[in-house]
């Protein structure tokens, strides 16, 4: 058969973040009868943001449960159900309302596995919109990534696009630990290309693994949730000016994928973090601290050892020069130090570190 030339690649199917989450929950509800969804208006109203659209009609009252407006009450019911062996998905209409149930999330869900000596898992998902939205004022505009990312016993994920949303919600439901899924209200209606592998019922994104959305060599830019899109837009602008940014989509806040971030910073020697939360004690502050404690410290130690090696090398060479010429090399201080001449030294390169946390 003759080769066909001029083939046009078909555009990938586009799926909104809302539909990707819905698809992920639908597949897990179908796969495991222990999975159920509860929250305010999730059933007959199809969810405040229509994320659970069609699920009540398909699975009925026993598995898609409307609750009263009492986050502390239905979050406690969900935690108890998880302890009894079920796999609840607890939806908060907005994560700002999770403050009403934070005792259940932290003291009951997050700590039980540890306090039971590993005998009592709590496989529960807390999900809902997180971060700033449009015109909802200060009380409904908080990002809880740093809040929940601070707490041992929780896993915290923060999807950006449709692929993230489906893969992470499915992994969260299957996980035996409590998982907080921080969605973004402004992203629900945004369509993204949906690769064929993401359309599979077996598609999962591992919790704790970041993704490099754009390769670059000059600056590492780390972000999560909606700001990832802003970073990619900025990287496209900077690319026209000759600056190539490597954009990392964290996907998971806890456990944080520092291996991917460190490898990128080792390559670019520059780091910028971008997030939608407050700057003090934020996700970016944690990343910067770990970089300084990790690879920065390692490089300083390597540099110090290199300098020591050079000092020994030159001390030996200077002694030979002194023996031949009888000349002494002295510093301005009282102690004598060898003079390190450029032609005697190996080249030691120390990266310059520019760490900036943007909120």
Among 124-128, 131-135, 263-267, 310-314, which is the least confidently predicted range?
A: 310-314
Give the sheet arrangement for strand 211-214, strand by strand.
211-214, 245-249, 219-223, 270-274, 354-358
pLDDT at 321 over 60: no
Structure tokens at 158: 């923060």
Class of domain 211-312+339-357: alpha beta
What is the 8-class DSSP label of residue 176? S
Helices (H) and strands (E) in the chain, counts: 11, 14
Position 311 scores a pLDDT of: 59
Task: Give phi and psi for 125, each to the nearest 5.
Answer: -115, 125
pLDDT at 309 over 80: no
Of the ranges 130-144, 290-304, 312-326, 340-354, the best mean pLDDT one: 130-144
Exactly one of 28, 40, 71, 185 is catalytic; which is it?
Answer: 71
Q: Collect all residues with Cβ–Cβ distance below 8 Å to 21 and sequence separation of at least 6.
A: 51, 127, 165, 166, 169, 183
Position 352 scores a pLDDT of: 34
Are 131 and 276 in contact by the 8 Å Cβ rule? The answer is yes
Per-residue pLDDT tens for 97-106? 999 999 999 9
Distance, in Å, from the CA atom of 125 to the CA atom of 172, rounded to the nearest integer, reads 6
Does the active-site annotation cover 197? no
Does the active-site annotation cover 343? no
Position 155 scores a pLDDT of: 98
Distance, in Å, from the CA atom of 102 to the CA atom of 109, rounded to the nearest integer, reads 10
Per-residue pLDDT tens for 110-154? 999 999 999 999 999 999 999 988 888 888 889 999 999 999 999
The upper half-sphere exposure of residue 173, i.e. CA atoms within 13 Å in the direction of its Cβ, equals 29
Distance, in Å, from the CA atom of 318 to the CA atom of 337, rounded to the nearest integer, reads 10
Structure tokens at 214: 């754009």
pTM of the model: 0.81
Position 140 scores a pLDDT of: 86
pLDDT at 30 over 50: yes
Position 303 scores a pLDDT of: 59
Task: Find the mean pLDDT for residues 160-182.
Answer: 98
Q: Collect all residues with Cβ–Cβ distance below 8 Å to 229 and sequence separation of at least 6.
A: 160
Per-residue pLDDT tens for 34-89? 999 999 999 999 999 999 999 999 999 999 999 999 999 999 999 999 999 999 99
Domain ranges, ordered by start, for the chain: 14-199, 211-312+339-357
Of 260, 262, 283, 263, the residue nearest 273 (C-alpha): 283
Distance, in Å, from the CA atom of 338 to the CA atom of 355, rounded to the nearest integer, reads 35
Of 145, 101, 165, the residue nearest 279 (C-alpha): 145
Mean pLDDT of the chain: 85
Position 13 scores a pLDDT of: 86
Superfamily of domain 14-199: Thiamin diphosphate (ThDP)-binding fold, Pyr/PP domains (3.40.50.970)
Distance, in Å, from the CA atom of 275 to the CA atom of 229, rounded to the nearest integer, reads 11
């Amino acid at each position: 058969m003759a080769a066909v030339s001029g083939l046009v690649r078909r555009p990938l199917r586009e799926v909104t973040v809302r539909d990707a989450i819905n698809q992920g929950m639908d597949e897990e509800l179908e796969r495991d009868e222990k999975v159920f969804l509860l929250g305010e208006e999730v059933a007959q109203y199809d969810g405040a943001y229509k994320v659970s659209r069609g699920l009540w009609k398909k699975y009925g009252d026993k598995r898609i449960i409307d609750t009263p407006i009492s986050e502390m009450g239905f979050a406690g019911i969900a935690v108890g159900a998880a302890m009894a062996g079920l796999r609840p998905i607890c939806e908060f209409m907005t994560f700002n309302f999770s403050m009403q149930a934070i005792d259940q999330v932290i003291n009951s869900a997050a700590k039980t596995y540890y306090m039971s000596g590993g005998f009592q898992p709590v496989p529960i998902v807390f999900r809902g919109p997180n971060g700033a939205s449009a015109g909802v004022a200060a009380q409904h505009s908080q990002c809880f990534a740093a809040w929940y990312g601070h707490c041992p016993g929780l896993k915290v994920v923060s999807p950006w696009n449709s692929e993230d949303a489906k893969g992470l919600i499915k992994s969260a439901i299957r996980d035996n630990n409590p998982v907080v899924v921080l969605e973004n209200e402004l992203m629900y209606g945004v369509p993204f290309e949906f690769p064929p592998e993401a359309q599979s019922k077996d598609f999962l994104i591992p919790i704790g693994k970041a993704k490099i959305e754009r390769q670059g060599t000059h600056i590492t830019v780390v972000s999560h949730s909606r700001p990832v899109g802003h970073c990619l837009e900025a990287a496209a602008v900077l690319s026209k000016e000759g600056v190539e940014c490597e954009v990392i989509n964290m996907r998971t806040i806890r456990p944080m994928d520092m291996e991917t971030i460190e490898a990128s910073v080792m390559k670019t020697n520059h780091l910028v973090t971008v997030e939608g939360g407050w700057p003090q004690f934020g996700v970016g502050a944690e990343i910067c601290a770990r970089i300084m404690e990790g690879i920065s410290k390692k490089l300083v130690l390597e540099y110090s050892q290199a300098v020591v090696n050079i000092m020994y090398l030159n001390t030996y060479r200077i002694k030979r020069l002194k023996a031949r010429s009888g000349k002494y090399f002295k510093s301005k201080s009282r102690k004598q130090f060898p003079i390190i001449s450029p032609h005697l030294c190996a080249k030691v390169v120390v990266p310059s570190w520019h760490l900036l946390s943007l909120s």
